[in-house]
Amino acid sequence: MLVTESIDDLREQVKEWKRQKLKVGFVPTMGALHEGHLSLIELAHKRADRVVVSIFVNPEQFSPDEDYDSYPRKREADLEACKENRVDAVFIPSVAEIYPDEDFLEIRVKGLGDHMCGASRPGFFEGVLLVVNKLFNIVNPDIAVFGQKDIQQYRIVSRMAEEFNHDVKILKGEIIRANDGLALSSRNSYLSDEERLLAPSLYRSLKYLEKQIRGGVSEPGLLIEHQKSELEAKGFEIDYLDLFSFKDLKPVKKLEGGREYILAGAVYLGETRLIDNILIDN
Ligand code: AMP
């Protein structure tokens, strides 16, 4: 397994694979790898001949009041996990390798960033797109895998690849959960024992709403408000909990047949931000 901090070395390796007509799959991560990341690596193995994983905690996607400094960094364990999962190359650059000098350009997200996480984390998706755009140009993959867990990220990155004509196919990996339903996340390590017990309530609320919608409820507004109150009563602070259109990521009041929707929530439990979602095709 190649482990490199260097853009040039990574490029050389990928070029060599391409000379051999091998298909390159890419899984970008911020490290502290868990079963969710590993499932994306598995999917990449199924769809490509060689798999590159990047590990980079991207400062551009954290606002000053967020957890950039305390974000878990587990270099050795991550490299071990990559080796065990037959990763072919790990790109683990320094901040200076990715952002060597002053930047004069930025990528702006229009409509797709107006709601959900985009509304409460200004600059977040601009930071994500900046780094993903760079990583696509560095790695030059044939496919790249993103998790449904970050559904807005998946949608926005997919649009970037389309609108900017990146020659990469974007795949979506399913959400991997703990036994009690909590979506795995590197940030779950912030939860106290007590918070960890409460944390699956977000998924339970989404599941309840999904069941009601699948049972025929087409205007779930009141049910959603009720779930928010229940979560608040348990000690969650709600950022958002709502039904959104899959296509444009705007909130939806009434479901219509033949469309795709996202039931999504973001909540705080103490200092920890949890997100989760369920896809619904009606
Ligand atoms: P991160 O390291 O949090 O930036 O995540 C890297 C990739 O892993 C992203 O595409 C995430 O959507 C994905 N991911 C995070 N958590 C999960 C999970 N529980 N199941 C599947 N994929 C996940």
pLDDT in tens, 49-69: 999 999 999 999 999 999 999
Q: Which residues are catalytic?
A: 37
In CATH, 186-277 is 3.30.1300.10: yes
For residue 108, pLDDT over 80 is answered with yes
Which pLDDT value is given to residue 168? 98
2-173 CATH fold: Rossmann fold (3.40.50)
pLDDT, the chain, mean: 97
8 Å CB contact between 7 and 138: yes
CA pair distance 71, 57, nearest whole angstrom: 8
Q: CA 47 from chain center: how many Å?
A: 19
For residue 22, pLDDT over 80 is answered with yes
Name the residue of 27, 29, 34, 37 whose CB sits within 8 Å of the most ligand 1 atoms, as the mutation to test its pocket. Answer: 37
The answer for residues whose C-beta is within 8 angstroms of residue 184's C-beta and 6 or more apart is 34, 35, 36, 149, 176, 177, 178
Taking only the tens place, the pLDDT of each residue in 201-238 is 999 999 999 999 999 999 999 999 999 999 999 999 99
Ligand 1 pocket member 175 (CB < 6 A): yes
pLDDT band (50, 70, 90) for residue 103: confident
Q: Kindly give the number of the ligand 1 atom that is closest to the alpha carbon of 185.
A: 16
Mean pLDDT value across residues 134-147: 98
**What is the 150 CA–ligand 1 centroid distance (Å)?**
7
The domain limits of the chain are 2-173, 186-277
**Domains 2-173 and 186-277 in one fold:** no
Mean pLDDT value across residues 85-113: 95
Which pLDDT value is given to residue 87? 99
Share of the chain above pLDDT 70, in %: 100
Ligand 1 pocket member 147 (CB < 6 A): yes
Work out the widest C-alpha separation in the chain, in whole angstroms. Answer: 59
8 Å CB contact between 246 and 260: yes
Mean pLDDT value across residues 180-208: 98
Output the pTM of the full model. Answer: 0.97
CA pair distance 176, 183, nearest whole angstrom: 6
Which pLDDT value is given to residue 104? 87
For residue 102, pLDDT over 90 is answered with no
Ligand 1 pocket member 40 (CB < 6 A): yes
pLDDT band (50, 70, 90) for residue 282: confident
Distances (CA, A) of 89 to 1, 10, 27: 5, 8, 11
8 Å CB contact between 134 and 98: yes
Q: Which of 38-42, 79-83, 104-108, 207-211 has the lowest mean pLDDT?
A: 104-108
* Strand order across the beta sheet in which 24-29 lies: 2-4, 89-91, 50-55, 24-29, 143-147, 169-173
Read off the DSSP letter of residue 107. -
Name the residue of 67, 73, 128, 149 whose CB sits within 8 Å of the most ligand 1 atoms, as the mutation to test its pocket. Answer: 149
